[in-house]
Amino acid sequence: MSYKEIFKERNQAVSERFALASARIREIAAEEHNPSMDDALTAYFQKTAKFLVLCIDRYKDVALSNMEDLSLQVLQKENYEFYSDILPQNYEHSYANPAYAVDQLGEEFGRILSFLYCELRSERAYVVEQNLRKMTLLDELFLGVHFLFEQGQPTYHRVREHIYSFFYDNAREWAGYRVREMLDPELDFARCIIMDHDLNDLRYLYYYGEYITENEIKTAEFLNSLPQEKIDAIARTFTEGYRRGLEIKRVDITTKKIVDIRYNIGFERVIRAAILQFEEMGLATVTYRYALNALNKRQNIRIGYQATNPNEQYGYDHRFDNAVFLDKKMVDRKIECMQEAYETFAENAAGFAGPACFEVFGWEPFAPVNKAEAFHLSERQKGLLTELSTLSNQLMNNYINQEEKSYTIIAYPIPAIGDNFEELFEEIYKVNTLDNEKYKEIQQTLIETLDQASAVHIMGRGKNMTNLMIQLNDIEDPATQTKFENCLADENIPVGEVFTTPRLKGTNGLLHISSAFLEGLHYKELRLTFEDGVVTDYSCENFADPEEGKRYIEENLFYGRNSLPMGEFAIGTNTTAYMMATRYAIFDKLPILIAEKMGPHIAVGDSCYAYSEDVKVFNPDGREMVARENDFSLKRYENPKQAYFNCHTDIVLPYEVLDRITAISYGEVDELTSSQERFEKPIILEGRFALQGTFELNEVFAQDGEDE
């Protein structure tokens, strides 16, 4: 059964409700004045109704005819119509903007009606998917809120309660369905676009219903110009990394059935090749759109297939819209619906092999504006969100065996990166296909020294004030155990880092980054102070008011908390990627996937082994990587809510700001003086690798003239 057959059955059950809702929405869209409301509210409901009429009419067009009958020009015009309201040039006068909505509709209702408008905009996706059930539910939500105002000025509480009831009653349709999207290959809307259409006919880009720009068009055109051998090679790096990830964990791939592919629209030719390669491995594919509604969103992070974001400020303004309904009852309801879905698709979950993420980069860095009119979580809700994340992960782990799960991530540029897009694409291809064997030996040299150390000391130079002492975990048997994982181009592409879970006690000092781009957001002069491995003080200079900078860190880097532990320490070795970024001046546009390979970095949040601490991990030399735990993850048996933070954000120190990284070890204790001799072995000095056996990493600096 395909998605068309699934939706056909579901759609028939709501067709009469949809017809009734559509008729009433058309009436509201035609109203110039409603005697039960003031002019501002009438204008809001009329504007919102007109958007819904656009969806209703487009749904019928798609149902009655094939989109392939439409010209490229018609599809482009229609695409703009749906998104024009939230584009930056129009956003200041859009009800999607909470500041404008509050200005027009007042403090009491402006914010929540902006929330409603944002939720209703998701109908665009359901139009092209022909998902009439979800369209009908959203139309009825709109009509229910409209009815409250038509009956006389309601209280804010009544409006909120109506919206709350909608999400609670329909949690199965949203939260439960999201689980199904991850596990059910029959929901093949995107796969059908990839596999069944002529990818040389760029009209296919508009069949997704996402905002299509020159990024998607030029990417598709460029990939169409490449020979099939090159397309297959790009895909093979991606899929082989995934296969090796399972191999490293000693998982029999024949026991796995499903892989989850995430990608950016425009890369269909590569994704088609990847799907075929995964099928050769015996893996069916699932593809799903990024989350569209507040019940499933994770702030403004978009996970799933997507296109260019029409307006990042729009997503940022609505990142905490779940504040409208988030309480303990809703948390329990969401978990209940997710569990039902996991139970229904338990067999698929058992065969789920993990995600394969084909990421992109090149957009201009985003510096958000914090708006008082946007929703924000209360302290109680922040705690509930943490609880929800923990429960969601525990639930997933009950059905998906983490010991038998792989993943892979790779990234390529999009045309937004600049006029040299095609040249850069080739450079990134080279970075993504560097010699694993060469790096394996060099990184093992680093590990041999680090395994003998009890701590690592990092010092910045010039204006960089970093001064961090990071404690390392012990190993009992150096012949069979190691403290650092030798990370090659398997799950995490490109090649180039060694990493560990640090010991928290005794990990102290300051991490200072003058400019960092984390999860798509810019941080200026970011400073994190650690005491016993936990952040105790933090600041940035994004805003004139230091307190606003602290809130920015709490909301976006700490995910609503006022502290996080250090979950990872790593040394990136990919100097080739670093010099490529230097030549093209694209440091601010690189994804963390590549940036983390270009210098030492720490991560705040969970360790790299969160929820998988009991899964044995082995380096290529056969030694087990045993530094997988910290003081928090050890709580997972007696108090899981305190064990995990459900976030992991890497923060990189580029080579040029490094004075030194030294491995610290100590001699035996002198019985007379109770003192120990301290030994320091340089790993990096003045931004260059200093260990015998790692000098080859410095050659690229000389080739580019940096060391002349």
State the DSSP code for 172.
Answer: I
Residue 676: pLDDT band with limits 50, 70, 90: low
Report the pLDDT value the prediction gives residue 390, as an integer from 0 to 100: 87
* Torsion sign, CA atoms 78, 82, 85, 87: negative
Say whether pLDDT at 134 is over 80: yes
Looking at the DSSP assignment, which residues form a beta bridge with residue 449? none
CA distance 168 to 330: 6
Q: pLDDT at position 67, please?
A: 73
Question: Out of 111-115, 186-190, 560-564, which region has the weakest mean confidence (pLDDT)?
Answer: 560-564
> How many residues are present in the chain?
708
What pLDDT sits at residue 672? Answer: 62
The pTM is what?
Answer: 0.90
**pLDDT confidence of residue 666:** 80
SS3 241: helix
Q: Does the pLDDT value for residue 251 go beyond 80?
A: yes
Q: Where are the domains of the chain?
A: 3-169, 182-411, 435-703
Instruction: Give counts: helices (H), strands (E), the chain.
Output: 27, 19
Partners of residue 487 on adjacent β-strands:
497
Side-chain-side CA neighbours of 580 within 13 Å: the count stands at 22
- In the predicted model, is pLDDT for residue 647 greater than 60? yes
| Token pair 């985003």: residue | 366
Proportion of the chain above pLDDT 90, given as a percent: 75
Under a CB-based contact definition with an 8 Å cutoff, are residues 115 and 376 in contact?
Answer: no
Residue 606: CB partners within 8 Å, gap ≥ 6?
567, 632, 633, 644, 645, 646, 647, 648
Q: pLDDT tens digits for 475-506?
A: 999 999 999 999 887 778 899 999 999 999 99
Q: Which of 466, 444, 495 is nearest to 597 (CA)?
A: 495
Mean of pLDDT over the chain: 92
Q: Phi and psi at residue 373, in whole multiples of 5°?
A: -75, -20
Query: What letter represents residue 127's amino acid?
Result: V
544-587 per-position pLDDT tens digit: 899 999 999 998 899 888 999 999 999 999 999 999 999 999 88
Residue 34: is its pLDDT beyond 80?
yes
* Residue 153 pLDDT grade (very low, low, confident, very high; cuts 50, 70, 90): confident
Interatomic CA distance for residues 145 and 492, integer angstroms: 47
Kindly indicate the confidence band of residue 673, based on its pLDDT and cuts at 50, 70 and 90.
low
Q: Which of 104-108, 581-585, 701-705 has the weakest average pLDDT?
A: 701-705
Give me the mean pLDDT over the 101-123 stretch: 97
pLDDT digits (tens, 9 = 90+) for 504-558: 999 999 999 998 888 778 899 999 999 999 999 999 999 889 999 999 999 889 9
Specify the range with the lowest mean pLDDT, choosing from 375-384, 560-569, 639-648, 697-706: 697-706
User: Minimal CA–CA distance to 193: which of 293, 266, 302?
Assistant: 266
Contact 446, 574 (CB under 8 A): no
List the single range of 3-7, 273-277, 387-391 with lowest mean pLDDT. 3-7
A 10 A CB-CB count for 182 gives 21
Q: Please name every residue paired with 194 in a beta bridge, in sequence order, or none if there are none.
A: none
What does the alpha-carbon distance between residue 318 and residue 375 come to, in Å, rounded to a whole number? 7
- Would you say residue 20 has pLDDT above 90? yes
Beta carbons within 10 angstroms of residue 88's beta carbon: 11
Up-side HSE of residue 649: CA atoms within 13 Å toward CB? 20
